[in-house]
Amino acid sequence: MARRAHVALWGAGALFAGSQMLARRARKVSDQRRPYARFWERSNLAVIAKLERNRRAGLPDPLIYVALGDSAAQSLGATSVVDGYVPRLAAALEDMTGRDVALINLSVSGAVIPSVLTHQLMSLKGLERHDDIVPDIVTCEVGGNDVSYRLDSPTMAEFVESLTSALPRGTYIADVPSFGPTPHGRRAREISELMRIYADRDGHYLVPLENFTSGLSLSSYLFSYHSSDFFHPNTHAYQHWAQLWVDTIAPIMDLPTVDVADVAAFQPWA
């Protein structure tokens, strides 16, 4: 009896230690949220100010790239804020076009589709109307947080349709990465299918994140493509994500493609 109690106590201790380790790993990514957000806020303000200065001086605009989305667009999970797919894509676009790229990252950690519809698209419209900043390229990646919402299918379809209707025509929009054989996996696939249907209808270009991630083995996807919280992508995954955007954009814009792994690190235009 005492032995059983000892084994049970040991098992409980191991379980507690494991849960503490997982909590620490999750906090490591969560702790990036505020500094990464502050980085993009400062960067956005600096880019807008430089655009205004250059226009007053009669200088031509750079290529203007606006990113919409959630924490993945903020680079959470990457080793550095400049290792996310958005800054990697901005750096690649400089190589592909031979132009300076002014990146304005309007994404917000925790964003869901309604967040993009309200705050982020309203911010984009404000830039266009009040600052005459019209993007040459818009990317949108959202939906990963929506999978946990207990919404019926018609309501989710309404959200996705509203999103694709509101986005600037020709937006590069990603579907939802695979959630694998989890309770949220089915909802993720549902949202991805809706993205594909309505993106095509409304004149956008789909970036196939779902196809890429679902093609990986479960062990590889979980341990090689995720950060320490097992939710956000890691630096390695973001490199592949950025390559998907590059490979989608290049033929549409008649640009040479590049290998994202060979592109120099992102340097803010401001």
Mean pLDDT across the chain, nearest whole number?
91
Q: Above 50 in pLDDT, residue 45?
A: yes
Instruction: For residue 139, give both structure tokens.
Output: 């990317």
Q: Above 70 in pLDDT, residue 3?
A: no
pLDDT given at position 28: 87
Q: Above 50 in pLDDT, residue 47?
A: yes
pLDDT given at position 82: 97
Q: What is the mean pLDDT of residues 72-91?
A: 98
Global pTM value: 0.90
Q: Above 50 in pLDDT, residue 232?
A: yes
- Tell me the per-residue pLDDT of 132-166, one tens digit each, with 9 for 90 and over: 999 999 999 999 999 998 889 999 999 999 999 99
